[in-house]
Amino acid sequence: MLDLQDLDLQLDQIAHKRASLPEHQALKDLTAEKSVVDRQLVTADTEVSDLQREQKKADSDVEQVKQRRARNQQRLDSGQVTSPRDLENLQHEIGSLDRRISDLEDTELEVMEKLEAAEAVQGDLRARAEAFAGRQSELETSRDAALKELDEQRAGVADQRSAVAAELPEPLVTQYQKLRERNGGIGAAPLVGKRCMGCRMELAPSDLTRFKAAAPDAVLRCEECGRILVRTSESAV
């Protein structure tokens, strides 16, 4: 019975190790961090896209005004405009277009600088997202290897348990399993001296007397915790 209890404890320990592998928490933390970066990347992509459209518009605005200025300059240089008033108006318009071009180029430069900064943020976030993918793959590989090893251990211990349980009366095994469920995984414990090693309580003298008189194959129960007590060479009975 104690061999069965020991094997069950080994299975419990393996189950605990499977559930508490550090890779589980690392993957959970990584997923949470990646979720934040993914949201930031969506925002960065949107900002870059908006600024790209804004830059195209700024480039187009500058080009349109430059073309108009070039046409006016061509008219001025061709000598086609001879009226002093018309020449003055044309020169005034060219001056206005020069100022307009300067203002638009300043806007164009400002948008370009914003775009470069946004693309830098976007690139950093994409690099982090790619790094997450690589780290996730490493953690999953490590986790799967650890789980495989633990599963192999579990299978070996389970085979031993089946062999041990098969040698015990089925009703006793059923009773033991119910006691395990009620007592934190410990359904059977050795009697060491006068003490139950399941609850660590010392047995009453009357119980010890009763245990001494019990048949070797009798199923003994601790009066304090209800666990099956197994007599050993260290028992005071």
Average pLDDT over residues 204-212: 92
- Residue 164: the pLDDT is 97
Query: Regarding the domain delimited by 2-166, which CATH topology (the fold level of the hierarchy) does it fall under?
Result: Helix Hairpins (1.10.287)
Domain ranges within the chain, ordered by starting residue: 2-166, 170-235
Q: Name the pLDDT band for 170 (thresholds 50, 70, 90).
A: very high
- Residue 76: the pLDDT is 87
Residue 105 has pLDDT above 90, yes or no: yes
Cβ contact 107:56 at 8 Å: no
CA 136 to chain centre: 8
Alpha carbons 237 and 224: distance in angstroms, whole number: 18
* End-to-end CA gap in the chain: 18
Residue 113 has pLDDT above 90, yes or no: yes
- Residue 86: the pLDDT is 86
Among candidate residues 70, 62, 67, 69, the one with its CA nearest the CA of residue 104: 62
- Quote the percentage of the chain above a pLDDT of 90: 92
Q: Name the pLDDT band for 78 (thresholds 50, 70, 90).
A: confident
Assigned token pair, 25? 């928490």
Residue 82 has pLDDT above 90, yes or no: no
pLDDT in tens, 135-167: 999 999 999 999 999 999 999 999 999 999 999
Alpha carbons 55 and 214: distance in angstroms, whole number: 95
On whether the pTM is more than 0.95, the answer is no
Alpha carbons 203 and 211: distance in angstroms, whole number: 10
- Residue 53: the pLDDT is 97
